Amino acid sequence: MNCADMEPLVLLQDSGEISEAQKQELVKHLSACSACRQQNTDLAFLRKTLSDGAQNLPEPSQQILAHIRTAAQHRYSPKMSIWTRPWPIALAAAASLALCLTSLRFFVSSSSVISTRSTQSKDAIEIIPLIAMITGTESIQLTMEGNETDLTVLANELLRLQDMTLEWPKEKMDTPTLPEDYQPTTLLWNNIRGPQPERCG
Amino acid sequence: MSSVMQLEQDKKRNSELEVSDEKLISLYVQGDIKALDELIVRYKKPLYSFLWRLTESGSDVDELFQETWLRVIRKSADFEQNRFKGWIFKIAYHLVIDWSRTKRGHLSLDRTSEYADGLQTLADTLPAPGLGPDDHAANGDIQKAISQALACLPAEQKEVFVLRMDANMSFKDIAELQKISINTALARMQYALKTMRKLLGPLREDSERTL
């Protein structure tokens, strides 16, 4: 075998994917070929250079790390009441909610049940979980006229809040599934994470 | 016992005591938030470097980094693979691919359509810019040299190079990720190494001179 045949073996050796037979062949070749030995050394040099260079790369900001941690907590930890959050955040959320409610056709039918007849399902998706969080509502009765996709997204948004229950028109859908590309809405996440919402405030 | 041997034994013991990534993600799914925190600490640097080298775009890197973790969080309950490391870098890689589709579109040296397998590009037809020792002496910045060299690689080669060297992925995983054969992945890596050796060679000469 010539040097060209050995080059891939040097790489496979480096990645730990080399077979025993290939390894023996490579060892034999390296003992007699300084050019291929040099390739091996070059690989180690490049790895070290990349590693050294990475020390000079910037790191993710503390704010981003905090956002990720908040999302992580939100996903698997029990619901944190809005009243246990810092007051400025609670007040900001409540104020923005009040503003939103004046422009959307939602209403709170009782202290424990939220209903909406809004056809603005996109807005409903954003605002209902927020209302529920702020009021501590445990159950949401959905009377919204919306299409199944919107209902699915809403249902999942609520399920993300873990300890909420959702009543939705059973004839419309069975078990909701989260769309692959679904992202938490900006308004909802802004309120959960802290900064005041820009859209409604 | 020599101090070197002691150090080796300590290292081995520590790695045995260290909780695996896979265990951490499973603990997180069971509600242990600190387990995910530990994963973030472990992967903060390598993941960010990986994204940075593939995109070279500061503000987008932040977004991609955050989105990678949000997807990990969202899909954590479905994690069934053998290795967390391969999984998180795959998520990041797919995000970079989506990102690059929206960013590319201009004629670049990455263009490989005229050549088979992305092994040869327009860059190959031009004289290598090289990075003279003076360049390094002037800026003294290894990372800058690496960035310049990586920028000369065709996208497909750069991806294989970064996936292998930064993310430490196997060629089998890289081939699977790029939907190519292992031989093509190896060939792309060989071409990438050839270019990187040529462009970063002066850096090596610098370091050898200082020794």
pLDDT of residue A11: 93
Contact B29 A76 (CB under 8 A): yes
Residues from chain B that touch A16, judged by Cβ atoms under 8 A, are 170
B74 occurs within a structural domain: yes
Pick the residue from chain B with its C-alpha nearest to A61: B62
Contact A71 B203 (CB under 8 A): no
- Give yes or no: residues B85 and B127 share one domain: no
Contact A73 B31 (CB under 8 A): no
pLDDT of residue B209: 58
**Of the residues A54, A74, A91, the one at which a domain ends:** A54
**Of the residues B71, B103, B135, the one at which a domain ends:** B103
Show the domain range for A10: 3-54
Contact A64 B183 (CB under 8 A): no
Q: Any bridge partners for residue A84, and if so which?
A: none
Structure tokens that stand for B19 in this block: 């909780």
- Give yes or no: residues A33 and A93 share one domain: no
* CATH number of the domain within which B92 lies: 1.10.1740.10
pLDDT of residue A19: 92
Estimate to the nearest angstrom the gap between the alpha carbon of A50 and the chain centroid: 29
In this predicted structure, the answer to whether residue A52 has a pLDDT above a threshold of 50 is: yes
A101 occurs within a structural domain: yes
The count of CB pairs under 8 A between chains A and B is 103
Residues from chain B that touch A58, judged by Cβ atoms under 8 A, are 48, 52, 58
- In this complex, is the C-beta atom of A35 within 8 Å of any C-beta atom belonging to chain B? no
- Give yes or no: residues B64 and B117 share one domain: no
Contact B45 A54 (CB under 8 A): yes
In this predicted structure, the answer to whether residue A42 has a pLDDT above a threshold of 70 is: yes
Nearest CB among B33, B171, B190 relative to A17 is that of B171
In this predicted structure, the answer to whether residue A8 has a pLDDT above a threshold of 70 is: yes
- Give yes or no: residues B48 and B123 share one domain: no
pLDDT of residue A201: 30
Structure tokens that stand for A178 in this block: 């989260």
- Give yes or no: residues B178 and B117 share one domain: yes
Tokens 């951490």 correspond to what residue? B24
pLDDT band at A190 (very low <50, low <70, confident <90, very high): very low
A88 occurs within a structural domain: yes
Express each pLDDT in A118-165 by its tens digit: 334 444 555 555 555 555 554 444 444 444 444 445 555 554 543 444
Domain count, chain A: 2
Q: What is the ipTM of this complex?
A: 0.71
Contact A8 B165 (CB under 8 A): no
The CA distance from B207 to the nearest CA of chain A, in Å, is: 10
- In this complex, is the C-beta atom of A102 within 8 Å of any C-beta atom belonging to chain B? no
Can you list the alpha helix ranges (DSSP code H) found in chain A? 3-15, 20-32, 34-54, 62-76, 87-103, 121-135, 148-160, 186-193
Q: Mean per-residue pLDDT for A59-74?
A: 84
Nearest CB among B29, B171, B203 relative to A11 is that of B171
Express each pLDDT in A71-126 by its tens digit: 887 765 444 333 344 444 444 444 444 444 433 333 333 333 344 433 344 445 55
- In this complex, is the C-beta atom of A8 within 8 Å of any C-beta atom belonging to chain B? yes
Q: Mean per-residue pLDDT for A189-199?
A: 38
Structure tokens that stand for A168 in this block: 């939705």
A40 occurs within a structural domain: yes
Residues from chain B that touch A60, judged by Cβ atoms under 8 A, are 44, 48, 62, 65-66
Per DSSP, which regions of chain A are E strands?
A: 106-108, 113-116, 139-141, 165-167
Nearest CB among A42, A59, A69 relative to B37 is that of A69
pLDDT band at A38 (very low <50, low <70, confident <90, very high): confident
Contact A16 B170 (CB under 8 A): yes
Contact B66 A49 (CB under 8 A): no
Residues of chain B with pLDDT under 70: 1-17, 57-58, 104-141, 204-211
Query: ∠A125-A130-A134 over CA atoms, to 5°?
Result: 160
Residue B177 CA to residue B90 CA, distance in Å, equals 7
- Give yes or no: residues A97 and A189 share one domain: yes
Show the domain range for B75: 19-103
Q: pTM above the 0.90 mark?
A: no
Residue A184 CA to residue A126 CA, distance in Å, equals 9
* CATH number of the domain within which B164 lies: 1.10.10.10
A182 occurs within a structural domain: yes
Residue A147 CA to residue A150 CA, distance in Å, equals 6
Domain count, chain B: 2
Nearest CB among A12, A47, A178 relative to B165 is that of A47
DSSP state letter for B31: T
- Give yes or no: residues A109 and A14 share one domain: no
